[in-house]
Amino acid sequence: MKLRVLFNLVFICLVSNLFSQVMDTDRSILDTNERPGFIKEKKPEVENPLSKNYYLSSVWQVGSINFVNSKSLNNVLLKYDIVKHIVEIKDGDQVYMVSAKSVDNFTWFNTEQSHFERFESIENFYDIPEALFGFFEVLNSSKNGIDEYKLLSHHDVYVYVANTSVSLSGSHRSNDLFWSDQFYLYKNGNIVAIPGKRKEAYSMFKDHEDEMKKFIRKNGLYFKNHEDLNKIFSEYFRLIINS
């Protein structure tokens, strides 16, 4: 019992320290005229689906953000509107909105999922197979010499229209918004979409195709969700590094 009380006290102290860092962060970027695309404004009233705010995470998350002009902010409160492609930064009772095109990357600790999440601007990937906007979530990454591999996810967003029949199989839905995840493999500037079906995806593993087939079948993994894909490509990256 005493050990549990001690643990709780330590946890409270850590959380208090984290939020004290948020309050003490350098806000000079927000207060100067060198703001990279910031628009300081009040929240618009909810009028129609496109005027609403749809967030990747429903609560403010503590994180760090790097801008394309090489400036950065650490330990700030962040949200990402995945319809408008706007990153929001909370400072007291003020909310600063910045276009996704002005953000190079951001990282936060997702308190709803209890893990860190990293997002990189799509502008950083110069061989995208289709027209995409916003950010890729980096699910896994590895480097083998000069070769760099990344497993990426992009949230394909749709606004729900009344009286329209939409299949939500394998998708997420929040109020009038739903999205399905598209996954990509990045290697040294080249990026390819990962097929959702096993037979089509196996060819991506090339020299390690037989080994990956056995691993995927043995563990009953699929190419349609974050957790399974992370396991699949963690094993693939391991095979590449050890080959």
Contacts of 223 (CB under 8 A, 6+ apart): 183, 194, 195, 196, 197, 198, 201, 229, 232
Residue 130 has a pLDDT of 78
Q: What is the pLDDT of residue 136?
A: 93
Radius of gyration of the chain (CA): 20
If asked whether residues 241 and 193 sit together in one domain, one would say yes
Domain boundary among 41, 70, 105: 105
When divided into structural domains, the chain yields a total of 2
Q: Which two tokens stand for residue 18?
A: 């984290």
User: Could you give phi then psi for residue 185, rounded to 5 degrees?
Assistant: -110, 130
- Tell me, what's the pLDDT at 24? 39
| 194 found inside a domain | yes
Answer yes or no: do 165 and 240 share one domain: yes
Is residue 101 located within the same domain as residue 130? no
Q: Kindly state whether residue 116 falls inside one of the protein's structural domains.
A: no
pLDDT of residue 145: 80
pLDDT at residue 166 in the model? 46
Q: Is residue 110, in this structure, part of any structural domain at all?
A: no
List per-block mean pLDDT (blocks of 10 residues) for the chain, which spans 243 residues.
46 42 45 50 46 78 92 91 86 82 92 88 84 89 87 80 46 59 88 88 90 94 88 92 81
- Cα(168)–Cα(16) distance, integer angstroms: 40
Boundary of a domain, candidates 105, 140, 157: 105
101 and 176 co-located in one domain? no
Q: Which of 43, 72, 105 is the last residue before a domain boundary? A: 105
Residues 135, 47 share a domain: no
Q: Which residues constitute the domain of residue 174?
A: 125-243
Of the CA atoms within 13 Å of residue 102, those in its CB half-sphere come to 15
In a domain, 129, yes or no: yes
Question: Is there a domain that residue 197 lies in?
Answer: yes
- Do residues 16 and 71 share a domain? yes
Same structural domain, 1 and 70: yes
| 181 and 69 together in one domain | no
Please tell me whether residues 96 and 144 are part of one structural domain: no
Q: Has residue 113 been placed in a domain?
A: no
pLDDT at position 31 is 53
pTM over 0.75: no
Judge whether 200 lies within some domain: yes
Nearest to 149 by CA among 116, 123, 184, 108: 184
* 241 and 165 within one domain: yes
Claim to verify: residue 2 and residue 100 sit in the same structural domain: yes
- Report the pLDDT value the prediction gives residue 90, as an integer from 0 to 100: 87
CB 80 within 8 A of CB 87: yes
User: For residues 202-222, b (16+ Cβ closer than 10 Å) or e, as one string?
Assistant: bebbeebeeebeebbeeeebe
Q: Is the same domain home to 1 and 64?
A: yes
CA 175 – CA 54 distance, rounded (Å): 9
